[in-house]
Amino acid sequence: MINEGKKAPAFKLKDQYGKTVSLNDYNGQNVVLYFYPKDDTSGCTKEACSFRDEFPAFNKLNAVILGVSPDTVSSHKKFADKYNLPFTLLADEEKEVVQKYGVWKEKSMYGRKYMGVERTTFVIDGQGIIKKIFPKVKVDGHTSEVAEALKN
């Protein structure tokens, strides 16, 4: 079980350019690790664009933004290019990291049950400790909540 105040699980994933990225690459920086269900869908696009629009504010807070979904590297590249996303998107095609962070859950839509990513954001400090967890994220106003958590 992942809790605030605990060490964030380490991981290595490929970004939208096919480069391997690990959580340890960001030691000494705050990390906003946000998990989202799928590239280029309405809620995920709105969330990504919100982080894009607030990107300068996160830079001022010494924070990097990492978006994670089970989509492919090429899907992430198209999504990032289409919306000019200035941050890293990580491809968790094997669903290892979504499972490690406990965000791969049973969901239901129109009465059909399926496995998917529960939109969740983790704020991780420069020492790799989870400062704040935002479960079941509602997109509207979320980036402001995350920025506030970084300030505290």
With a CB cutoff of 8 Å and minimum separation 6, the contacts of 117 are 35, 36, 37, 38, 69, 70, 98, 103, 104, 105
Question: Which CATH superfamily includes the segment(s) 12-151?
Answer: Glutaredoxin (3.40.30.10)
Per-residue model confidence as pLDDT tens for the chain (152 residues): 789 999 999 999 999 999 999 999 999 999 999 999 999 999 999 999 999 999 999 999 999 999 999 999 999 999 999 999 999 999 999 999 999 999 999 988 899 999 999 999 999 999 999 999 999 999 899 999 999 999 87
Q: Which residues carry out catalysis?
A: 44
For 95-138, what is each residue's pLDDT tens digit? Answer: 999 999 999 999 888 999 999 999 999 999 999 999 999 999 99
Q: What residue segments make up the domains of the chain, in order of their start?
A: 12-151
**pLDDT of amino acid 108:** 87
